[in-house]
Structure 1
Amino acid sequence: MAKNILLIDGNSITFRAFYATYTSLDRFTNSDGVHTNAILGVNNMLDNLLASQDFDKILVAFDAGSKTFRTAKYDDYKAGRQKTPDELLEQLPLVKEMLEGHGIVHYELANYEADDIIGTLAREADQQGDQVLVVTGDRDLTQLATDRVTVAVTKKGVTELEEYTPAYVQEKLGVTPRQIIDLKGLMGDTSDNYPGVTKVGEKTAIKLVQQFGSVEDLYAHINDLKASKMKKHLVEDHDQAIMSKDLATIRQDAPITIGLDDINFAGPDYEQLRAFYQRMDMRQALKRMGAQGAAPATQVEYTELAAENLDAAMRLKAPVAFELEMLTDNYHTAQVEGFVVADEHHTFVSTDTSLLQDMEFALWLGDASRQLTVFDAKRNLVAGRHLGLDLHPDFDALLASYLLNPDENSNDLGQLARQHNYDALPADEDVYGKGAKLHVPDHDEFCNHMAQKGAALLALRPRLTTELADQDETQLFTDLELPLARVLGDMEYTGISLDTNILAEMGKQLTGSMSVLEQQIYADAGQEFNLNSPKQLGVVLFEDLGLPVVKKTKTGYSTSVSVLEQLRTAHPIIQKILDYRKISKIQSTYVVGLQEAVHADGKIHTRYLQTLTQTGRLSSVDPNMQNIPARGDGKQVRHAFVPSHPDWELFSADYSQIELRVLAHISGDANMQEAFKEDRDIHANTAMKIFNLTSADQVTPDMRRQAKAVNFGIVYGISDFGLAQNIGITRQQAKDFIAGYFEQYPQVHEYMERMVATAREQGYVETLLHRRRYLHDIHSRNFNLRSFAERTAMNTPIQGSAADIIKVAMVRMPAAVSAAHLQARMLLQVHDELIFEAPASEMDRLRTVVAGVMDAAVKLDVPLKVETNHGQTWFDAK
């Protein structure tokens, strides 16, 4: 029976993969600094090929070295080629290791090229009736095409292939595959550096081969040609033509020590391949591997939980793993499909969530003295509360993994487990699908997947615990992130009330304003058009009105905000368009968007993403409450956020300039610390220096604005060019401003240099509470990547520490409020601001309690400052 055989030109494919991403080379490195772009490219090509058809036998052939029988025949063969880059040389042995993980044989033969190995095996396979696919980046191999041998040549990168059959070669070149060597004999090859015949190019070579059939037959009939310069060159270069044809001829009788019986393909060694992917930081490859191989087929012994065996489940011992399973992200609205509870000896799984209503079982699960391991504590806490459970997890695998490496923030337990060398759990996507294909699988598959999750959680806990201790992050985990999950869960579950009547009225007003602007714009344009169509707007502005074109895109004229800002004074229509867009955004994003996000209880229940950012800052989604405008027209939306009880008010407490205060502490800068200790206006203080003023009274509002931009720009490692762009000054002025800043705060400059040096030495930087951020590009050869890593090294300890401080305050807040016997409830965290609701009568006491907790969250060398306010709405409280 005919076999399917795949033969790959290892050198040419690896070279192609390397140069396909050469311009962004330093983006592709693993945590050890090893370049991986060629490895990734070859791996992607293999994935595509293996997915396209089943192969019985596979071989990847490599060159054994630069010296071959061809260089012995012709010293200059392949001479003049650039030296192979070191970044590629270091990847070649790793490509071979990856092939071994795939279960693919690789082979090389001294004195011969990869082409000759492929040619010899292709001939053997062809003769015994097998189907062969040759994959290469070198069109020379198209000479091997036969009825049973197809040669696929890379077109773009290494994933797009052009297949050459004898018919396709004839159609494309007008010759047979075997005549390609005759073409090469006549025209030579600049890439391989052999000469051919002087002045004979491809067109002439094709014409001659079509007329005479081969180089030998051409010279046998050379006298039939009319006298010409071409004939003269042919006669003079006879030996070169014969030699060039010989050099171009792929040997199909190479003395290989390997045969078709030695290249059988049985499939990957998944354990070996997965370990390789992890070492190379090939996250997408790990994700694609998903449920392939032996791991996902692992069966975990479990018992289906029912009312009659609840007693048996409650005899589990600590530590216990527990997980509520939901297929969608928003656990406020998602359906709980089932749950697992497991210890090291027993695993119970159920799709009957009514069992969680059993009082004795619920109390057993909620026993705070029990060691309870979960994945995503907040998700389980909130979903559990909707089911009547009061859980007290003391370990969260998601939070632990996030702290160990914030770059790897997958919220899928299967993917996370593989990051920590646990391979026996498939990703959810491989079990449940995604998008339109998202589904609950059959009962047995679902239950087994849940059982696998229980086993994974039990196995991961000791591993992650050890790693946290090794990185000095145990306290950050146990005292901050894990208790914060409960605090955030309580805030989300409580929610904040939204008066939709206020939003509806606001919507009417905005619609009216937009309608007026729309008519004014049409009047200025002299025509009506679709104002929300960038293409139509571009035609009106730049063709009909003749405004200067600032930027073009593939689809036409750019009408982005930045473009319109540059044209603001060019025509009255521009300001009206900007106003229209601003109002339209408020209308669609906030007025309409917030009404759609209101739950049945009349409240917004946002979700805080605790493991998203690399700095430790919280993010908010469904909806994003941190994006509600704090100034400008959009701030009016805050009128709609109200207390949930009559005679209650909203209360706001906001850290003032916390990042700059953290900078003063971390840098130890005496001048900056003195300014904060004396409660000076830090921006006016900076303005005095950069504008050479002697008194704060001389500082104008515009000077303060510019100084503020410098203060915060320095925190983020801004350049003179960036600062000039931000505040509309010349680059030299910006350079002088920055110089004046560092003259005023010299130890800040020392701090910045120290952080970059630290990052280069250890590969990461830390916050005050030892939260780490790894900086893989700190040694990059790419200037932009390296510069970004350096700026990140400077600002992460500041940003991250500020985030940690407000988290500490949030964790301590519930106990402080309870101790003061207040009814107040914390509802929202928005950057450096905390929002509460409480009876109006509690406001004075609440101010004392909240400010006290926030002031004392972390002891700095400068005082923390908290600004508070309260009112009937969030607008009034800010």
Structure 2
Amino acid sequence: MRNKIVLIDGHSILNRAFYGLPDLTNADGLHTNAVYGFLTILFKILEEEQPQYLTVAFDVHAPTFRHEMYAEYKGTRKPMAEELRQQVPVIKEVLQAMGIKTVECAGLEADDLIGTLSKRCEESGMDVSVISGDRDLLQLATEHVKIRIPKTKQGRTEVEDYYADDVKARYQVTPTEFIDLKALMGDTADNIPGVPSIGEKTATKIITEYHSIEAAYEHVEELKPPRASKALLEHWDLAVMSKELATIHVNAEFPFEIEEALLGNIYTEEAYAYFQKLQFKNLLARFDVTAPANKVEDYFRVVTEKEEAERIFAEGEHASCIGACIFQDTKDVLPLFAKDAGIGGIGLCFGDEEIYAIFAGGDIEAKWLLKQLGLLAERTERFAMFDLKRVLKDLELIYQDHCFDLTVAAYLLNPLKNDYSYEDVAREQLNLMIEDKLEEESKICYEAYTAYKGSEVLWEKLKESGMAELFTEIEMPLVFTLYDMEQNGVRVEADALKAYGERLGVQIAALEQEIYKEAGEVFNINSPKQLGVVLFENLKLPGGKKTKTGYSTAADVLEKLAPDYPVVAKVLEYRQYAKLKSTYADGLAGYIQEDGRIHGKFNQTITATGRISSTEPNLQNIPVRMELGRMIRKVFIPEDGYEFVDADYSQIELRVLAHCSGDSHLIAAYKEESDIHRITASQVFHVPFDEVTDQQRRNAKAVNFGIVYGISSFGLSQDLSITRKEAAQYIEDYFKTYPGIKVFLDDAVRHAKEKGYVTTLFGRRRPVPELASSNFMQRSFGERVAMNAPIQGTAADIMKIAMLGVNRRLKEQRMKSRLVLQVHDELLIEAYQPEIEEVKKILKEEMEQAADLKVPLEIDMHTGANWYEAK
């Protein structure tokens, strides 16, 4: 039986993986999609081939003979994308950790190394499998050398296999003749120029007849068609150079010992640590290893006796920092101990060697544990936990000055991540790799230790980044304000919600019949495929865009047709009603708790700009554009004896833009307390203020708000249904009117390119990695982010300051009124009727004085018996 070696073209497979998979980054901001894709292909190949030997060949960035030859003809090769370039050393380190042989040599390309190795190994009696995305390597195919070309499509890997006979069958030429075929037809992907005017079909015909370019040149006058004859005669030098470029050297000199390529256990502890760092969690299951034990585990202690727990709490009273966690009662945690209140116990750490998992059970009551932990929180200088809001109800903690939420701190330092678990913080901030398969008590100790140790590291980084005050004065107090809002909840009239749903159901049923009548048939309106056929084939409406799954019926496609085709307008209306019913009329009902209120979640670590988000349910996404959508607000009602007071910032982002840009014209417009959109229209369109038409005001409004979001001429043309040229002129005139805004936006982009981030007035950073992308669309998106994030982020900070002030005043004055909702730029107070005037006073003072801007902050305020009336 012959031994087998697999030879992998490193850069080629890495390149294929990079362009075949969506962008991925780990917690450190390192792009990882190429490495992940490479490893996926590697594992697939090894499972299929079961080789005894393995080697990965890489190009060296130093110029090779072929690089220099091609440069003389047509400059240098296209530079590697930066996101790909940074992954090359990473894959080399990972392969080294896996014990996989790699080879590279200055002056030789990877395919020369592979060509030479495939010949050597075949001559020594081995079977060879070459893995590359480069079809040039087909020239190496023989009876014992198989060329395998992977393709990555939508995350899936497919592989084409070629022995010598397969090359002949596919291309009508032998592997050796394949070189000459490429010399004639060229290959832009491999920088082989070829001969102008000779394509694949003609080249194949020439080589199958003459077998080489030299033989073809000897019969150049006989070549058909005549243009091929003329082209080869005039560009013979290009054909010769192209053949040299296409030819892989198989007798190169470089050191290589076959035994170094012997394949052993690639699932090593070192490799496991790399996979953890790269966050390839779904690949970790391949490893039958555990992460190397961390020394800190020597100090983990499990406590089940009250006497010992009391001693530990007594020692903790003298600690300047406490790291803690509260864990729930679970089946797999010390089942011999009974627990109450749903609390399994606590994790506690107040020193490098004082790390405890204290379990409830026996004579240790959960309530006693929580009380002791709360007392420690009061007495220590720093009380550190992850996701503090989640456990505030258990701790009954009000001493917020002592608290340090690591989830919030980690979010501020990197707001682009999806989660901020203790495992992530341990890895990123403490260089601790935590094994997934640990016992529960070890996980608890790790979380408490990471809270203790990580809080100091994160605090120093917050100070270095200028966000310490943002953390202590805004974000940490906000944890408690959001907790209050979640506990308050908002009352919903269940019967009214049900009636609203029934009303929507009637509207939907009526629209269904109207659509069927217009279409002339009954079909599933919710099926994009069926709808596409009805609209673009049966009714023959214009503008049909065929995709792999059928015609596109996306909103942007249908909205263009709606004004001229009533059936399309009704389909859009049907969709709106159907979403209202499923998401709100039916969806909200499931969230109403026994007290008749919805207690949603408010999240402060989700959005990159700093805005608060709402989930379970998303009350920030209540429809406002259509009247029937706004009617849903009628089901939100205050308690008996209360009214809603709703306060909404007026044009807060435009006011922030005026302040940040310092544009004198925009500042003056706001100080005049006039209609800002009419003023803008007057100045941009050069008409007297009193003669501005409604259409001109609408256009100015679109430009005003669009500028905040870095709108392009294309985007504005779509919004206003005008030509791109007209939109570009609008924007140009706008910047002439407000020149300070253009300077500010340009400076924001320049700062983001230099520093990698933008900041709000309160120091919040928003990284903009898209600006370093090699992709034009990504860079354009990054520029819009750089323009908008300082504005939107500052507005979000101002809203948070206002929320803190309002909530603090309501509590300090021991009022019955309570803050129940925050939606974008709006606050909703459930106000006790005798306190309404005081509530209005508090809202006006706290919201309008939340920031000292060059223009006044203003609010619109209303009261009502339900949210609809108050709004």
Is 1:399 matched with 2:408? yes
Distance 1:785 1:635 in 2: 35
Map 1:649-664 onto structure 2 (within 5 A): 649-664=643-658
> Residue 423 of structure 1 aligns with which residue?
432
> Residue 107 of structure 1 aligns with which residue?
103
Greater shift, 729-738 or 856-865, is seen at 729-738
Change in 2 beyond 3 A, CA 1:167/1:614: same
Deviation digits for residues 305-353 of structure 1 (CA, Å, limit 9, x no counterpart): 435343244233442222245799xxxxx98776522232233336758
Change in 2 beyond 3 A, CA 1:83/1:482: same
Does the CA contact (< 8 Å) of 2:34 and 2:84 recur in 1? yes
Specify which of 285, 293, 300 is matched with residue 298 of structure 1: 293
Change in 2 beyond 3 A, CA 1:650/1:53: farther
Distance 2:707 2:774 in 1: 24
Is 1:377 matched with 2:388? yes
Map 1:314-713 onto structure 2 (within 5 A): 314=313, 315-316=315-316, 317-325=319-327, 339-343=346-350, 344-349=352-357, 352=360, 358-367=366-375, 368-370=378-380, 371-381=382-392, 384=394, 394-420=403-429, 422-426=431-435, 445-631=439-625, 632-643=627-638, 645-696=639-690, 698-713=691-706
> Residue 161 of structure 1 aligns with which residue?
159
Using the size of structure 2 for normalisation, the TM-score is 0.81
Does the CA contact (< 8 Å) of 2:343 and 2:360 recur in 1? no
Distance 1:50 1:592 in 2: 51
Distance 2:762 2:152 in 1: 48
Does the CA contact (< 8 Å) of 1:79 and 1:193 recur in 2? no
> Residue 756 of structure 1 aligns with which residue?
749
Does the CA contact (< 8 Å) of 1:365 and 1:391 recur in 2? no
Deviation digits for residues 683-734 of structure 1 (CA, Å, limit 9, x no counterpart): 22223323434344x4444443332222111212223332232123444544
Distance 1:682 1:89 in 2: 44
Identity level (%): 37
- Secondary structure of 1:411's aligned partner: coil
Distance 2:348 2:30 in 1: 42
Map 1:191-206 onto structure 2 (within 5 A): none
Distance 1:117 1:67 in 2: 12
Is 1:8 matched with 2:8? yes
> Residue 136 of structure 1 aligns with which residue?
132
Deviation digits for residues 87-110 of structure 1 (CA, Å, limit 9, x no counterpart): 369977962563134213322456
> Residue 864 of structure 1 aligns with which residue?
857
CA shift, 1:501, in A, is 0.6
CA shift, 1:8, in A, is 1.7
Change in 2 beyond 3 A, CA 1:483/1:83: same
Distance 1:28 1:363 in 2: 43
Distance 1:605 1:652 in 2: 19
CA shift, 1:470, in A, is 0.8
Change in 2 beyond 3 A, CA 1:503/1:145: same
Map 1:80-229 onto structure 2 (within 5 A): 83-87=76-80, 95-96=88-89, 98-103=91-96, 104-109=100-105, 114-115=110-111, 117-118=113-114, 121-122=117-118, 132-139=128-135, 141=137, 150-156=146-152, 159-164=157-162, 180-181=175-176, 190=186
- Secondary structure of 1:547's aligned partner: coil
Does the CA contact (< 8 Å) of 2:269 and 2:292 recur in 1? no
CA shift, 1:50, in A, is 6.1
Change in 2 beyond 3 A, CA 1:53/1:623: farther
Does the CA contact (< 8 Å) of 1:764 and 1:775 recur in 2? yes
> Residue 57 of structure 2 aligns with which residue?
61
- Secondary structure of 1:137's aligned partner: coil
CA shift, 1:658, in A, is 1.2
Change in 2 beyond 3 A, CA 1:518/1:744: same
Distance 1:783 1:450 in 2: 45
Does the CA contact (< 8 Å) of 2:425 and 2:454 recur in 1? no
The answer for unaligned runs of 5 or more in structure 1 is 219-227, 329-333, 432-443
Query: How many residue pairs are counted as aligned between the two chains?
Result: 818
Greater shift, 662-671 or 53-62, is seen at 53-62
CA shift, 1:498, in A, is 1.4
CA shift, 1:604, in A, is 1.4
Greater shift, 812-821 or 347-356, is seen at 347-356
Distance 2:181 2:554 in 1: 56
Greater shift, 539-548 or 150-159, is seen at 150-159
Using the size of structure 1 for normalisation, the TM-score is 0.80
**CA root-mean-square deviation:** 4.7
Distance 2:210 2:443 in 1: 67
Specify which of 761, 785, 802 is matched with residue 778 of structure 2: 785
CA shift, 1:535, in A, is 2.8
Does the CA contact (< 8 Å) of 1:549 and 1:557 recur in 2? no
- The one-letter amino acid of 2:349's match is A
CA shift, 1:528, in A, is 2.5
Distance 2:72 2:329 in 1: 60
Does the CA contact (< 8 Å) of 2:272 and 2:287 recur in 1? no
Map 1:846-865 onto structure 2 (within 5 A): 846-865=839-858
Does the CA contact (< 8 Å) of 2:206 and 2:223 recur in 1? no
Does the CA contact (< 8 Å) of 2:164 and 2:175 recur in 1? no
Deviation digits for residues 354-373 of structure 1 (CA, Å, limit 9, x no counterpart): 99854442222113233221
The answer for unaligned runs of 5 or more in structure 2 is 216-221, 234-238, 331-340
Distance 1:870 1:784 in 2: 45
Distance 2:492 2:431 in 1: 45
CA shift, 1:552, in A, is 3.1
CA shift, 1:169, in A, is 6.3
Change in 2 beyond 3 A, CA 1:162/1:832: same
CA shift, 1:830, in A, is 0.4
Change in 2 beyond 3 A, CA 1:291/1:323: farther
Greater shift, 463-472 or 703-712, is seen at 703-712
Greater shift, 503-512 or 575-584, is seen at 575-584
CA shift, 1:800, in A, is 0.7
- The one-letter amino acid of 1:560's match is A
- The one-letter amino acid of 1:406's match is P
CA shift, 1:564, in A, is 3.1
- The one-letter amino acid of 1:342's match is C
Distance 1:414 1:147 in 2: 51
- Secondary structure of 2:771's aligned partner: coil
Distance 1:248 1:761 in 2: 41
Distance 1:417 1:771 in 2: 23
Change in 2 beyond 3 A, CA 1:566/1:345: same
Does the CA contact (< 8 Å) of 2:801 and 2:850 recur in 1? yes
Deviation digits for residues 629-649 of structure 1 (CA, Å, limit 9, x no counterpart): 235211111111122x32122
CA shift, 1:420, in A, is 3.4
Distance 1:613 1:501 in 2: 34
Does the CA contact (< 8 Å) of 2:413 and 2:765 recur in 1? yes
Distance 2:243 2:493 in 1: 84
